[in-house]
Structure 1
Amino acid sequence: MKSLFCLVVLMTATIAHAANTQPNFVVFLVDDLGFMDIGANNPNCFYETPNIDALSDSGMRFTNGYAANPVCSPTRYSLMTGKYPTRVQATNFFSGKRSGKFNPAPLNSKMPLDEVTIAQALKEKGYATFFAGKWHLGETEEYFPQNRGFDVNIGGHSGGGPYTGKKYFAPFKNPQIKQESPEGDHLPDRLARETAHFIDEHQEQPFLAYLSFYSVHTPLIGRPDLVEKYKLKAASVSGQEFASEEQVFGDQPRQVRILQKHAVYAAMVEAMDLAVGKVLKQLEDTGLADNTVVVFTSDNGGLSTSEGSPTSNLPLRGGKGWIYEGGIREPWIVRYPGVTTPGAVSDVPICSIDLFPTIAAAADVTIDHQVDGIDLRPALEGQTLDREALYWHYPHYSNQGGIPGGAIRMGDFKLIERYEDGRIHLYNLQDDIGERIDLAEKMPEQANRMRTQLHQWYQSVDAKFLSEKDGLTPWKP
């Protein structure tokens, strides 16, 4: 009788899943995770990420995946809308208005209410929608996830980090976590449990589950057991930990971490990976994995030049807050059953603006408004994409010391333009991933062509630039 009962339950679940032919979507967005912070991208990674690495083995890993901005809020906007954040002047974290030699560009510190989010688009197709974790896309409740298309919001509000209560440990005192955890509960695990519960409760309805970790953003606080584990591991790692980086503002020399061995950060990375594994296991246990598109990425590069400088992005230059590759190149993994080949690797450049149109196409959602991203399905099938260039615009002085500037990538070439004085740099990323060999003078035609196209893009998105300060006038394109 027990065997018969189990068979009936299995058949019922199979019939229910078969009736739901629309794909489900699970999106993992990690805060401040660098490209080199996962084992799938870095064979010598100090941090242990077996669940993320297994996801890579079961899907497609992109080696040229990007965020639309080197800091968080703008990239989060692009993931939600499919647009470059420059279109609405959401060009820095909300609300970062630091000045340097010049004043920064005007900053819009909210995702406008007339924007169509991916959650709103999917709800039109009957999807259940869930958000957990960091939002940081508006200061008041009308801008929070529950008013932007998500049926459920666990933890998403105006805050850019877990700064209330005991931060990463309960009591969290997060205004959007209505039921407090038992004291000592760990925030990444709480968010993963909530996500897994939502999946379990919506097996018979197509869903979007968007798990936006507060990890591995500061404050640097890890599970004590994992911190001890990595302290022991770090003791066997030798070598120079820091080197100098260019100084953009302030009078203190700036250092960049060049060796991964920060025990607390490592503990935070592993705890996040365990949380990813919990959600992926729920997909397997419920039989939904074969009908669920899974996306894993980050909002900006690893934190390497300030606020504890916990990680190294080498061989990439810079990190969070910089338009060098260390600030914008991100982990990108997509598992799309029936489309991606397990263990596939693509070097096609993609960006966070592409999430919305890719999910919309998979769900058969018609996009009847302007977006900048494109459907990644050709790349997921192993082909190229019909796109000439990707663009970045960061007219701010970052907390991490990054330069105010813009960038364009075309093929293997990347051009950076500095907004203080208009200087440009040209790099061949295929030959020089560390952006150390400036080719602008040796290849003036290539540089001028890319600069002209970058300036045309500025105009098309109504880009704003630095403004005068103390009688000094910055360069303007």
Structure 2
Amino acid sequence: MFRIEYSNLSKYFFIGLICLGSLLANSCVNKNEELTASPNIVLILSDDLGYGDLGSYNNNSLVPTPNLNKLASEGISFTNAYCPVSVCSPSRYALMTGTYPFRSWKSSGVMSNYEPSMIDEGQLTLPQMLQQSGYTTAGFGKWHLGATFPTLDGLKPAGFGKFKADNNGANIDLQKPISDGPVAHGFENWYGFSCASECWVMDGDDIVAALQHEFYNIDSAKHKEHIEIIPANKYLKRITEKSTQFLTQQSKTKKEAPFFLYFAPYVPHIPLSVSEEFKGTTKAGFYGDYVSELDTYIGKILNTLDSLGLAENTIILFASDNGSQFERTGVHIDNANPSNNLEDVNGKSQNPNEHHPNGNLKGSKWTIWEGGVRMPFIAKWPGKIPAGIKSDKIFALNDILATISSVIGFDLPKDAAIDSYDQFPNLMGEEKIIRESVVVQSAKNRMGFRKGNWKYVEPDNDELEGQLYNLLEDESESRNLIRENADVAEEMRKELLNIITGTVSEK
């Protein structure tokens, strides 16, 4: 009798184990499916927005940014996020390729008019990775990573290699498509310019319009009867409408394929082309008005996601390509027509009526200081990323590619995104030290190195020694500690040199 009961018990126990194992397996599969299911992705990259512009980053900000503040309250904000270079093109290169820009042919500085693509042939980009993963990709706004323009005479475009030329566009063949631009590097849908100083706006590869700019013009161009002229203060509205139309179309087609939207406004970059309805609406002068306008139009995109029922399955990422060029703004300061020159806009004061776009950070766009290279970075993914949290872990624009590859389960080739770290655990609020260091660079190629709380800056031309700051104790970089910590500086200098001269970052 005992043997029979034992046998039955064994049978039931065995069956129970199978059922339990099946339940656990199904649970694991469901969890993995939940984490690796391909979400929609919206990436918003502002242009010259400062670390201290957002209320969620700076309690003393004089600019109302309710939509970005709400985004921060619904996701995670990184307080030590970096754009690797304090000007546009190289930071966008890092974002698109996961690679430090000093490894490209354009090793320093911003791209001039009509220069060829910074992206090497065959080099994987963020939109290409997503396209290969079944995403519908779209970009609206600003590219500034180079393209090849056709010419009437077969020569280089007039103004090639310059930022401003009186004969800009004189020999551009406006009837032929460009090549090696955004479409060639992963954007199935594109509407925007390659470089603002070139003025030309492309729909896909076709030149269809030109930006009416305070500093640049296309007066010398021929056969431009079909070219639409878009006033600079109407461009933000135009690309926002294009973005919301794309979202609406994606919701109507009900495709199984997810989408990637890259919204890259030319705001608050100079000229401060504020729309009439926003002028004088903030206490931070024209600059503050422009940031407020940007926040409003970002809100339109976020609201569209909500109204279409797309928000729940969408990752939203927000960043800036570098710091603000303004160290101070206000209604009492005339910054309506500043030059693209650092000396015109530097300096701060304790005036409570002044807005400091880069917050307490030293410096601005173009510089090696934190005000030039530290950026706001916010990520939201409903139900996945914890809401309203902050992370002090080091993050870089280069990391977006590897992080997104982890989210969608894409196996990156070994030669792709070589300076990109998978920060998915930190996006989920796990607070791990994934990136121990980051290389930063000024517009004039001065190099710096952040590791832990330390920041080392290479000597400038007129300096005999570099600079060293403890950013935990001295966020404003006011006390150079290199003489007291020469050993730390020397170790960081060597590590910086190894990364720069090496072929990949150490991971």
* Structure 2 equivalent of residue 471 of structure 1: none
1:204-247 CA deviation, whole Å, 9 max, x = no partner?
330100001111111122112321223xx3xxxxxxxxxxxxxx
Q: Distance in 2 between matches of 1:353 and 1:281?
A: 28
1:63 match: secondary structure: strand
* Structure 1 equivalent of residue 122 of structure 2: 114
* Structure 1 equivalent of residue 261 of structure 2: 209
* Structure 1 equivalent of residue 181 of structure 2: 144
- Residue 438 of structure 1 pairs with residue 480 of structure 2: yes
1:142-163 CA deviation, whole Å, 9 max, x = no partner?
2321121101111132335869
1:44-93 CA deviation, whole Å, 9 max, x = no partner?
11111110110001110111111011100000001001111111143211
Match 1:166 to one of 176, 198, 212: 212
Q: Distance in 2 between matches of 1:417 and 1:118?
A: 31
- Residue 407 of structure 1 pairs with residue 415 of structure 2: no
Q: Distance in 1 between matches of 2:103 and 2:276?
A: 43
Q: Distance in 1 between matches of 2:359 and 2:130?
A: 38
Which amino acid counterpart does residue 487 of structure 2 have in structure 1? E
Match 1:376 to one of 405, 420, 423: 423
1:173-220 CA deviation, whole Å, 9 max, x = no partner?
999xx9958979721122111111111111333010000111111112
Match 1:36 to one of 47, 52, 57: 52
> Which structure 1 residue ranges, 5 or more long, are not aligned?
1-17, 97-106, 234-260, 398-403, 464-477
Q: Distance in 2 between matches of 1:209 and 1:138?
A: 20
> After the TM superposition, which residues 178-257 of structure 1 pair with which residues of structure 2 at under 5 Å, given as runs?
180=228, 186-203=234-251, 204=254, 205-230=257-282, 233=283
Contact 1:172 1:180 in 2 (8 A): no
TM-score, normalization by structure 2: 0.72
Q: Distance in 2 between matches of 1:81 and 1:343?
A: 29
Contact 1:418 1:424 in 2 (8 A): yes
* Structure 2 equivalent of residue 13 of structure 1: none
Which amino acid counterpart does residue 389 of structure 1 have in structure 2? S
1:9-61 CA deviation, whole Å, 9 max, x = no partner?
xxxxxxxxx9x942010000000001001111111111111101100011101
Q: Distance in 2 between matches of 1:134 and 1:462?
A: 28
Which amino acid counterpart does residue 46 of structure 1 have in structure 2? L
> After the TM superposition, which residues 84-123 of structure 1 pair with which residues of structure 2 at under 5 Å, given as runs?
84-90=100-106, 91-95=108-112, 110-123=118-131
Q: Distance in 2 between matches of 1:184 and 1:372?
A: 35
Distance 1:187 1:412, change over 3 A: same
* Structure 2 equivalent of residue 27 of structure 1: 43
Q: Distance in 1 between matches of 2:146 and 2:44?
A: 20
* Structure 1 equivalent of residue 457 of structure 2: 416
2:281 match: secondary structure: helix
Match 1:303 to one of 318, 325, 331: 325
Contact 1:417 1:424 in 2 (8 A): yes
Which amino acid counterpart does residue 468 of structure 2 have in structure 1? L
- Residue 428 of structure 1 pairs with residue 440 of structure 2: no
Distance 1:133 1:160, change over 3 A: farther
Q: Distance in 2 between matches of 1:361 and 1:69?
A: 25
Contact 2:43 2:316 in 1 (8 A): yes
> After the TM superposition, which residues 439-454 of structure 1 pair with which residues of structure 2 at under 5 Å, given as runs?
439-454=481-496
Distance 1:392 1:228, change over 3 A: closer
Distance 1:89 1:181, change over 3 A: closer
Contact 1:111 1:143 in 2 (8 A): no
* Structure 2 equivalent of residue 127 of structure 1: 135
Distance 1:460 1:47, change over 3 A: same
Which amino acid counterpart does residue 406 of structure 1 have in structure 2? M
- Give the paired residue count: 394
1:228 match: secondary structure: coil
* Structure 1 equivalent of residue 174 of structure 2: none
Contact 1:87 1:462 in 2 (8 A): no
Q: Distance in 2 between matches of 1:211 and 1:48?
A: 21
Distance 1:446 1:274, change over 3 A: same
1:411-441 CA deviation, whole Å, 9 max, x = no partner?
1110000252562111000110110101100
Distance 1:43 1:34, change over 3 A: same
Which amino acid counterpart does residue 137 of structure 1 have in structure 2? L
1:366 Cα offset (Å): 1.2
* Structure 2 equivalent of residue 327 of structure 1: 372
1:35 match: secondary structure: coil
1:84-115 CA deviation, whole Å, 9 max, x = no partner?
1111143211039xxxxxxxxxx986222322
Distance 1:454 1:182, change over 3 A: closer
* Structure 1 equivalent of residue 91 of structure 2: 75
2:179 match: secondary structure: helix
Percent of paired sites with the same residue: 31
TM-score, normalization by structure 1: 0.76
1:363 Cα offset (Å): 1.5
Contact 2:45 2:263 in 1 (8 A): yes
Distance 1:312 1:120, change over 3 A: closer
Match 2:67 to one of 51, 55, 60: 51
1:438-462 CA deviation, whole Å, 9 max, x = no partner?
1100112211111111111121159
Q: Distance in 1 between matches of 2:456 and 2:232?
A: 47
> Which structure 2 residue ranges, 5 or more long, are not aligned?
1-33, 149-177, 201-209, 328-338, 347-355
Which amino acid counterpart does residue 500 of structure 2 have in structure 1? Y
Contact 1:135 1:160 in 2 (8 A): no
Q: Distance in 2 between matches of 1:181 and 1:51?
A: 30
Contact 1:378 1:385 in 2 (8 A): no
